[in-house]
Structure 1
Amino acid sequence: MIYYLANYLKQYVSGFNIFRYITFRSAYALLTALFLSFVFGPKIINFLKSINFSHIRKFVPDTHKEKIGTPSMGGILILGCIIISVLLWGDLQNRFVILALIVTVYLGVVGFIDDYLKIKRKDSKGVIARYKLIFQSLLGLLVGTYLYFYPMDPYLKNCVTIPFIKDIYFDLGILYIPFVMVVIVAASNAVNLADGLDGLAIGNIGIAIFAYGGLAYLTGNIKYADYLYIPFIKGTGELTVFAVAIVGASLGFLWYNAYPAQVFMGDVGSLALGGALGLLAVLIKKELLLIIIGGVFVIEALSVIIQVVYFRITGGKRFYLMAPIHHHFEKKGLSEVKVTIRFWIIGIMFALIGLSTLKIR
């Protein structure tokens, strides 16, 4: 909204030209989301407490019992801050931004229903897992189909870029549709699995999204894209506003979610943010790079897969003391704060390695 108002006013006052710069609007999108978090955070937390919207996962270390009573569904605050910030500072005629908002809100609604049912039923069931996966997959298929018939770039179309290698792309053809589905669904669920310690998931999502925001800016700038030998995709630069708004909302939520957490984001936050991360990777053609930049989430998801497979083939034995892997380290005696901070450090390392691939080509 501010973007369009400034576009109108610049014909009268040249200073309003500054609003056309993505970097300027991104910075204020971050500050807006952060400010909104500080203003509305306490109100939303108190409201969630008043209606007893609290839920603790069933299979967690005994030390987590002290968290009983901490309100969940704080992801509502995150989504609200993101949406308002993007509406204020983003170009709403940009189809990438519109698609990003739709995916984020859709997965947020799925997560909200899941959280609500868990809290209402006073158990850990929520939406049956296969139904939740169906809703996520349906979204992924719709996004993949849309991008297949209305590609971001006519040249790249259904291609996937390879990290560390330039000018070599794999054309997946019709398989691009299920590929997009897998990226979005996997990212969404991986972030959800990582949301088990105070500040762990939101800190790492902020790191990964910040990295992808930078990549979106470079991808949408023809000069930088040409210099770095990465595909230039017109219009993707505007995704920087969306990505940085998420970073601002993440920082604001971390204010309340840092140990000891005053609120948990719940599935309404984790599913939506994970889906947003996966979609950013798809839209800027950096899908495989997500394995590196989102390395913490990959490790978390793999730890659960390994635990389940090992449990089945050994007839009940466990590979980790508890999965996801952050609980394993808790069981080993590390404090929750130490595990979280170390995972943040690892997340920063993965993000830097991912960004370094721009020059190692």
Structure 2
Amino acid sequence: MLYYLFRFLDQFGIPGSHIWSYISFRALLALILSLVISAWFGEKFIKFLKKKQITETQRDKAIDPFGIKKTGVPSMGGVIIIIAILLPIILLGRMRNIYLILMIITTVWLGVLGGLDDYIKIFRHDKEGLKGKFKIVGQVGLGLIVGIVLYLSPDAKIRENVAMEKTQTQELVVKHRSEATKSLKTTIPFVKGHNLDYSDMMAFFGKYKTAAGWILFVVMTIFVVTAVSNGANLNDGMDGMCAGVSAIIGVALGIFAYVSSHIEFASYLNIMYIPGSQELVVFLCAFVGALIGFLWYNAYPAQIFMGDTGSLTIGGIIAVGAIIIHKELMLPILCGIFFVESLSVMMQVWYYKMGKRRGIRQRIFRRTPIHDAFRTQDSQLDPDCRYLIKGSGNVVHESKITIRFWIVTIILAAMTIITLKIR
């Protein structure tokens, strides 16, 4: 709203109104505003939840060998994050931008889906929450919407980086197409050409390869949204873990969105130029600010848990943001923590079922997701179970595990950005 107001005032020469056209100004203002809203509203919301005794009872039994009791800690803190994102975006964003609209839909959609899960856990006292099949249907539905909108929208276009030319000083300069077009290309790391075309992967369909490529793109969108949102959900198991990791990922995505929206930076880095993606920078700054503000209360020992309302939403935002700027194939590096968390659970379940068929109780790790393995004591292990990786049995403090995971994510984020120059 404020963007359109000041753009209108700028027509009359009102001093200072022109600065609202600058992405850097609106993005940083969104970050500050979301942080303040998250911190201010967070305190009010926590008091309200405690008064209404809205707590997640399963967390009362959470492992903490260092004596911090987690009884009576309210859940559904994702509401704080969602409100702290949406309010600055409504005030500062260009609401006609298709990419911004998709991010808002993602936030609300997965916020409602996660909210239903938390509601069932808290108010109906069902520790299983929303059935897994309904979660998958919700995630697949969102992926389908995002993929189809990017296919059909006339505003979702790119200017592809097509050639490198030498200037008079023999300097190589990347040239982009003169017109923005629909494209099935995405950026891949460590490859000289740097772009992968989904339609080329479907070349065996002959003249229908473009249509088949779009179908593959939609399927990939569904997979990425589902995988990353579930990965973030699994990572939400320690105080400050998911919020801190996701904030770091959000900063990296914001950098990608900014350079993708600036033709000179896109030319320097030899990546595709995506007109309109600058609004994604504003959204991601609000996203990072909301998470940092939430950490004020979620850092160890947590005063509130984000619940599925927050974790599913966070994962979805990261996934859709990466898809919009055609960087979804870089997520295995950038979201390496989420990937390892998900992989550890899948490996544990597979190994346990393999042993069960032979009448043997066996597991790979002490506990999954993998972050729980570092804080599990020997006394908490199943004495009748064989552990492939049992470890030394030394328990690591929860806050140390969290900070170490943050550090690993910073390294992964830096590596992801570096891939733009390493080919």
Measured against the shorter chain, the TM-score band is over 0.9
Q: Aligned partners of 1:357 and 1:263: how far apart in 2? A: 37
Deviates more, 1:63-72 or 1:117-126: 63-72
Deviations 1:14-62 (A, max 9, x none): 4221111111111000000011122211110011111111115478536
Please list, as runs of the form range in 1=range in 2, the aligned pairs for 1:293-312 lying within 5 A after superposition: 293-312=334-353
After TM superposition, give the deviation of residue 92 of structure 1 in Å. Answer: 0.8
Corresponding position of 1:268 = 309
Paired position in structure 2 for 1:13: 14
Question: For 2:69, which of 54, 66, 70 is the aligned residue?
Answer: 66
1:161 counterpart (187, 196, 210): 187
Counterpart residue type for residue 17 of structure 1: H
270-279 vs 122-131, greater mean Cα deviation: 122-131
- For residues 57 and 289 of structure 1, the distance between their equivalents in structure 2, rounded to whole angstroms, comes to 35
3-state SS, counterpart of residue 238 of structure 2: coil
- In the comparison of the two structures, how many residue pairs are matched? 361
Shift of residue 224, structure 1, vs aligned partner: 0.7
Q: Which residue of 2 aligns with 1:22?
A: 23
Q: Distance in 2 between matches of 1:33 and 1:3?
A: 16
Q: Do residues 225 (structure 1) and 225 (structure 2) align?
A: no
Between the aligned residues of both structures, percent identity stands at 43
* Cα contact 1:56–1:67 (8 A) shared by 2: no
Q: Retained in 2: the 8 A contact 1:54–1:119?
A: yes
What's the counterpart of residue 339 of structure 1?
401
Secondary structure in structure 2 of the residue aligned to 1:249: helix
Q: Secondary structure of the equivalent of 1:160?
A: strand
1:1-361 equivalences in 2 (<5 Å): 1-11=1-11, 12-57=13-58, 60-61=62-63, 63=65, 66-150=69-153, 151-153=156-158, 155=181, 157-165=183-191, 166-172=193-199, 173=213, 174-315=215-356, 316-331=361-376, 332=393, 333-361=395-423
2:320 is paired with a residue whose SS is helix
8 Å Cα contact 2:64/2:375 also seen in 1? no
Q: In structure 1, what is the Cα distance between the partners aligned to 2:190 and 2:14?
A: 46
Structure 2 gaps of 5+ residues are 159-179, 200-212, 377-392
Task: Find the aligned partners of 1:13 and 1:243 in 2 and give their Cα distance.
Answer: 29
SS at match of 2:374: helix
The secondary structure found in structure 1 opposite 2:197 is: strand
How far off is 1:139 after superposition?
1.3
C-alpha deviations, 1:261-284, integer Å up to 9, x for none? 000010011101100000011000
Tell me which amino acid in the other structure corresponds to 1:152.
Answer: K
Report the structure, 1 or 2, having the larger helix content.
1
C-alpha distance after superposition, 1:278-314 (max 9, x if no partner): 0011000000111111111111111111111111112
Task: Please say which of residues 163-172 and 141-150 is displaced more in the overlay.
Answer: 163-172
Secondary structure in 2 matching 1:180: helix
Q: 1:72 to 1:119 in 2, by over 3 A?
A: same
Give secondary structure in 1 for the equivalent of 2:375.
helix
CA contact (8 A) 1:53 1:71 kept: yes
**TM-aligned CA deviation for residue 89 of structure 1:** 1.2
The 2-side partners of 1:357 and 1:57 are apart by 41
* Structure with bigger gyration radius: 2
Task: Give 1:156 deviation, angstroms.
Answer: 5.7
Q: Contact 2:42–2:80 (CA<8 Å) still a contact in 1?
A: yes
Q: Is the 8 A contact 1:148 1:158 kept in 2?
A: no
Q: Are the equivalent residues in 1 in contact too, given 2:344–2:368 (CA < 8 A)?
A: yes
Residues 295-352 of structure 1 show CA distances to partners (whole Å, capped at 9, x for unaligned) of: 1111111111111111111223111100001100111400001100000000100000
Contact 2:233 2:308 in 1 (8 A): yes
SS of the equivalent of 1:66 reads coil
1:148 positional shift = 2.4
For structure 1, the residue ranges without an aligned partner over 5 or more in a row are none
| SS state at 2:56 partner | coil
Is the CA contact 1:114–1:127 (under 8 Å) kept in the aligned structure 2? yes
Other structure's SS at 1:169 match: strand
Which residue identity does 1:229 align to in structure 2? N
Whether the aligned pair in 2 keeps the contact of 1:161 and 1:170 (CA below 8 Å) is no
Query: Is the 8 Å Cα contact of residues 184 and 274 (structure 1) preserved in structure 2?
Result: yes
The normalised TM-score by structure 1 is 0.96
Distance 1:155 1:203 in 2: 37
Counterpart contact for 1:152–1:283, Cα < 8 Å: no
